[in-house]
Amino acid sequence: MRRQVVIIGSGPAGLMLGALLGRAGIDNVILERKSRDYVLGRIRAGVLEDGTVGLLRSLGIAGRLDAEGLPHHGFALGFAHRRLRIDLTEGTGRHVTVYGQTEVTRDLMDARLAAGMETVYEAEDVALHDFDGPSPRVTYAKDGRTHEIVCDVIAGCDGFHGVARESLPASALTTFERVYPFGWLGVLANVPPCSHELIYAAHERGFALCSMRSPTRSRYYVQCAADEKAEAWSDQRFWDELRRRLDPEAAAAVVTGPSIEKSVAPLRSFVAEPLRFGRLFLAGDAAHIVPPTGAKGLNLAAGDAFYLAEALEEFFVERSEAGIDDYSRRALARIWKAERFSWWMTSLLHRFDHLTPFERRMQDAEFALLESSALARAALAENYVGLPY
């Protein structure tokens, strides 16, 4: 079999890239290790930058998003039992949309199916070959048989634990990493949210986040130990801990109910450079991780897919290598700014056990600055709604 592009991974990065390439008439196949149902069962974040929404609209995949997504024009920072509203629209003229990543994934998968573009699910032992030359190959096993695809380009969109980045010699990559000494325990429940906007709350017991998927479905998180076991948390324990960390009004407004999902996620910042090795390109979590505090993971994956699709269009349609030569630089310039923002939000809002008294005062001073300076709030808003592509 021969294809122009083999995409590894059917998360937001791979699906978005596949859709953009398909629109440009570039033939591609997605190889995904898991089943469709497994991928759609993963609960991930839920805040879309307006650039991500624009990308989905331009692809004609935003029908459900436009009908069901919730436009949010602000969110709150909680600290010292106070709440400070960050007006997103006042500072930027833009807003974000609350719509689950799982739903974005479903919409992209459905559109791909309808367009007749191929995805191979449950592709095992995916292996990359010869990407340092003009005719790379990808092999995989499916239904007990080994398959081989010869292609022009491989896109590694297979997440942090994928095979693409692992296929590179260590000497080809420079990596940058910060592992945070805590995790987030998340709960999804069919209860109305405690506030119509998100609340990111700093508290001496640890950070808490009040988010939502719809007017009747809430997503809440509390900072926990990195090795915390979700099973150790009864629903009651979770609700009690959440309420302790919120201001009295928010705490009183929390409606509790049985959890429908409960899981612990680690927090990490990570970047691998560069994003191109011959005919292999990395995009999304395969190349970088942000802690979820800035809600940037999915949006960064969309940005990478946009840059890479543009570069590949130049390569296949205009026969120019200028775009692919510049992909890594262009994407990394935006990635590092989102890394900075996510690290800053994480540092501001979490409880760190070993902060010096000076560092604690720095957290307080950041809040005081945000409280007193419309320009500081506008800078936060500008990053939160998403920097331009």
Q: Which residues are catalytic?
A: 72, 200, 292, 296, 384
Contact characters 211-250, ligand PHB, x per CB under 6 A: x-------x-------------------------------
- 20 contact, one of ligand PHB, ligand APR, none, CB 5-8 Å limit per kind: none
- Encoding tokens for residue 42? 């993963």
Alpha-carbon gap, residue 327 to 329, rounded angstroms: 6
Tell me the angle at which helices 297-316 and 12-23 cross, rounded to the nearest 10 degrees.
30
3-state secondary structure of 198: coil
Residue 151's binding partner, choosing from ligand APR, ligand PHB, none, with beta-carbon cut-off 5 to 8 A by kind?
none
Based on the shown chain and the rule CB under 6 A, indicate whether residue 335 belongs to the binding site for ligand APR.
no
Sign of CA dihedral 365, 371, 373, 374: positive
CA distance 322 to 44: 35
Q: Does 21 bind ligand APR (CB under 6 A)?
A: no
Q: Which does 348 bind (CB under 5 to 8 A by kind): ligand APR, ligand PHB, none?
A: none
State phi, psi for 363 to the nearest 5 degrees: -60, -45
Q: Is 311 in the site for ligand APR (CB under 6 A)?
A: no
Q: Cβ 266 to ligand APR, closest distance in Å?
A: 12
Task: List the Cα angle 221/223/228 in 5-degree steps.
Answer: 100
Please tell me whether residue 14 binds ligand APR under the rule CB under 6 A. Answer: yes
Among 136, 156, 292, 303, binds ligand PHB (CB under 6 A): 292
Among 284, 291, 303, 386, binds ligand APR (CB under 6 A): 284
CA-to-CA distance for 185 and 105, rounded, in angstroms? 23
Q: Which of ligand PHB, ligand APR, none lies near 9, with the C-beta cut-off 5 to 8 A by kind?
A: ligand APR
Cα 181 to Cα 207, 220, 286, 385, distances in angstroms? 13, 20, 22, 27
User: Out of 285, 310, 314, 339, which residue is the one contacting ligand APR (CB under 6 A)?
Assistant: 285
Task: Quickly tell me which residue has 């543009």 as its tokens.
Answer: 310
Task: Report CA-CA distances (Å) from 213 to 65, 93, 280, 286.
Answer: 12, 23, 36, 26
Answer yes or no whether residue 47 interacts with ligand PHB by CB under 6 A: yes
- Based on CB atoms, which residue is closest to ligand PHB, 6 or 199? 199
Q: Check: CB of residue 230 under 8 Å from CB of residue 222.
A: no
Residue nearest to ligand PHB (CB): 211
**Given 28, 97, 293, 347, the residue binding ligand PHB (CB under 6 A):** 293
Q: Is residue 46 a contact point for ligand PHB (CB under 6 A)? A: yes
Q: How far is Cα 62 from Cα 49, in angstroms, rounded to an integer?
A: 14
Residue numbers at the binding site for ligand PHB (CB under 6 A): 45-47, 198, 211, 219, 292-293, 295
